[in-house]
Amino acid sequence: MYSSPDETLKALEEVGYFTDLKTATTVYLAGRIQRPIMLEGPAGAGKTELASSVARAYSVPLLRLQCYQGINEEKAIGQYDRSLQELYVLLMSKSDRAPDWAQIKREVTSRAYFMAGPLLEALEQERSCVLLIDEIDKVEYEFEAMLLELLSAWTLLDSKNGHSPRNVDSPCLSDFQPGATARRPAAAA
């Protein structure tokens, strides 16, 4: 993280993103207070390029969640690898010793069998990252509410395994990119 908006501006320019001090200050403050940046504008306005440039300037990964009508939490957060779970259960049931079903259940519902989506990947980053959430205007209200909750608390609630906490020392800079006619939740007005 840079120590001032001026340093942030210089870092963005060094990676080829030329902007004003206002934008650099926004990026700097978002990182400082660990809050997302919400950008709105027409296609081609440079929203994605800003996210990419911030990732390059900070030398952090850029993770992208491409939203679309019908996207659900499974696509954004992740899902269990069902075939791998079934294979493990089959192998354990055919072993020479009696299977410990409680142990098998713990194993197949562990993180090792869960394929992370972009949101969980962002939460699990050891260091900072840039999370680009593109075209949020296309999602259902429930999904949008889940995204806003995630970005406000940096945690996901997994009903089976508890919370997936975010390392507070390494914030994600997030970039919402709704279209010019994006819905606004009543609470944000």
One pLDDT digit (tens) per residue for the chain, 189 residues: 789 999 999 999 999 999 999 999 999 998 888 788 888 888 888 889 999 999 999 999 999 999 999 999 899 989 999 999 999 999 988 888 888 889 999 999 999 999 999 988 988 888 888 889 888 888 999 998 888 888 777 766 554 444 444 443 333 444 444 333 333 333 333
pTM of structure: 0.73
The total of structural domains in the chain comes to 1
Q: Domain of 172?
A: 5-71+123-182
Domain-embedded: residue 152 = yes
What pLDDT is recorded for position 179?
36
Count of beta carbons in the 10 Å neighbourhood of residue 65 = 22
Q: Residue 127 is part of a domain; what is its CATH number?
A: 3.40.50.300
Which positions ≥6 away from 116 have C-beta within 8 Å?
Answer: 77, 78, 124
Torsion of CA 124, 75, 115, 90, to 10 degrees: 150
In angstroms, rounded to a whole number, what is the distance separating the alpha carbons of residues 143 and 130? Answer: 20
Asked whether residue 10 is assigned to any structural domain, the reply reads: yes
